[in-house]
Homo-oligomer: A and B are copies of this chain.
Amino acid sequence: MEGDLMVLGVWASPFVRRVQMVLDLKGIEYEYREDNDLMNKSPLLLKLNPVHKKVPVLVHHGKPIPESQVIIEYIDEKWTDKPILPLDPYDRAMARFWATYIDEKCLPAFWKAAWVSPPGEEREKACEEAYEVFGKLEAHLKEGDKKFFGGDDIGYVDIVANFLLYWFVLIGEEVTGVRILTEERFPALWECLENFKGSPIAARHLPDKDKLLSFYKSRLAATSSS
């Protein structure tokens, strides 16, 4: 255990898994605490992240850090071995650019299309918007012609992105029935996702598919009935 290091998380959260993957890739030991019921947040979560009240929170020597991307940069600065972000400043800038793009553009576009908007015209419009947003990620990947966002190896953007892709595909196709990310439409993204799914780090950290599916199916049922 490297000093006292704790991750407060929820097993079904891709944001929490990002942090766990980074700690794993660097070989850093830590304590994991499950904050199971986000409908009923624990006093610990409210104390550690009063601003957003969200997981993950990393606690290092008693000091809390929220927000997965902020946490990953922190870990990469504190434990410099096996860097997660690229070393070259320009490459770092591009990694930050795409990581932000994924959280600020892809994530809301996907949720709107696959979860929030009602079937019919509104959903169709949201899907068109999502295709455009994901299209830019696809174009970026194609241009680089690489196995992962990070090149030959999994890097920062893969950890931010591929987890979401896995969630997106599952939720989109199997929970709400909205297929946005398909092999036909986004071949480069799809291949990158497949590469990621086949990696040892994914095997260790992607949650069980059936468990994840039934979790989101019950959330969808709860949303629809409320």
Q: Report which A residues bind B (CB closer than 8 A).
A: 50-51, 60, 63, 65-67, 69-71, 73-74, 77-78, 89-90, 92-94, 96-97, 100-101, 104, 136
Residues of B within 8 A of A90 (CB): 60, 63, 65, 74
Select A78's contact among B50, B89, B97, B136, beta carbons within 8 Å.
B89
Residues of B within 8 A of A77 (CB): 89, 92
Total copies of the chain = 2
Residues of B within 8 A of A70 (CB): 93, 96-97, 100
16 contacts between A and B (CB under 8 A): A50-B136, A51-B136, A65-B90, A65-B93, A65-B97, A67-B100, A70-B96, A70-B100, A71-B93, A73-B92, A73-B93, A74-B89, A74-B90, A74-B92, A74-B93, A78-B89
> Interface on chain A toward B: helix, strand, loop, or mixed SS?
helix
In the complex, what distance in Å separates the CA atom of A65 from the CA atom of B63? 33
Residues of B within 8 A of A104 (CB): 104
In the complex, what distance in Å separates the CA atom of A101 from the CA atom of B67? 10
Residues of B within 8 A of A136 (CB): 50-51
Q: Which residue of chain B has its CB nearest to the CB of A101? A: B51
Q: Which residue of chain B has its CB nearest to the CB of A98? A: B51
In the complex, what distance in Å separates the CA atom of A97 from the CA atom of B90? 22
In the complex, what distance in Å separates the CA atom of A92 from the CA atom of B72? 12
Using A50-B136, A66-B97, A67-B96 as known contacts, list a sample of 18 further A-B pairs with CB atoms less than 8 Å apart, ordered by residue number in A. Answer: A63-B90, A65-B90, A65-B93, A65-B94, A67-B97, A69-B96, A69-B100, A70-B93, A70-B97, A71-B93, A73-B92, A73-B93, A73-B96, A74-B89, A74-B90, A74-B92, A74-B93, A77-B89
Residues of B within 8 A of A73 (CB): 92-93, 96
CB distance from A56 to the nearest CB of B (A): 13
CB distance from A136 to the nearest CB of B (A): 5
Nearest first, the 8 A-B pairs at minimum CB distance are: A77-B89, A74-B93, A70-B96, A65-B93, A78-B89, A70-B97, A70-B93, A51-B136
CB distance from A206 to the nearest CB of B (A): 27
Residues of B within 8 A of A69 (CB): 96, 100
Residues of B within 8 A of A65 (CB): 90, 93-94, 97
